[in-house]
Amino acid sequence: SGGYVRAGVTPTEDPRTAPGTLHPLVRVHPETGRRGLYLGRRRNAYIAGLPLEESDALLDEIWRHATDDRLTWRHHWRPGDLVL
């Protein structure tokens, strides 16, 4: 969504009242059983069951960790590169 509100939808300040689907924060791979984060950085993202302030703080902390330069791959593209 990139933070944009769909046509015909009224923007809201409280993400709990925004239309949309709830998704689990952690999903389990059906074959390996490994857990993985399933979250997006969207305007109306929040963690159900937490006060909004705590939800925002936890999402900020998770995103800081997930995007830490020590944990991410940066690729300098050259013609013919393929990254999976």
Mind giving me the DSSP string for the chain? -TTPPPTT----S-GGGS-S----SEEE-TTT--EEE-----TT---TTS-HHHHHHHHHHHHHHHT-GGGS------TT----
Q: How confident is the model at residue 14 (pLDDT cuts 50, 70, 90)?
A: confident
Contact (CB, 8 A) for 28 and 35? yes
Q: Give the residues across from 35 on adjacent strands.
A: 28
Question: How open is the CA angle 20-48-34, to the nearest 5 degrees?
Answer: 95
Is residue 2 situated within a structural domain? Answer: no
Is residue 65 situated within a structural domain? Answer: yes
Q: What is the mean pLDDT of residues 14-18?
A: 75
Predicted confidence at residue 18, as pLDDT, reads 73
pLDDT in tens, 19-37: 677 888 899 999 999 999 9
Is residue 5 situated within a structural domain? Answer: no
Look at the chain and report how many structural domains it folds into: 1
Range of the domain at 20: 15-70
Is residue 49 situated within a structural domain? Answer: yes
One-letter amino acid at 4 equals Y
Is residue 38 situated within a structural domain? Answer: yes
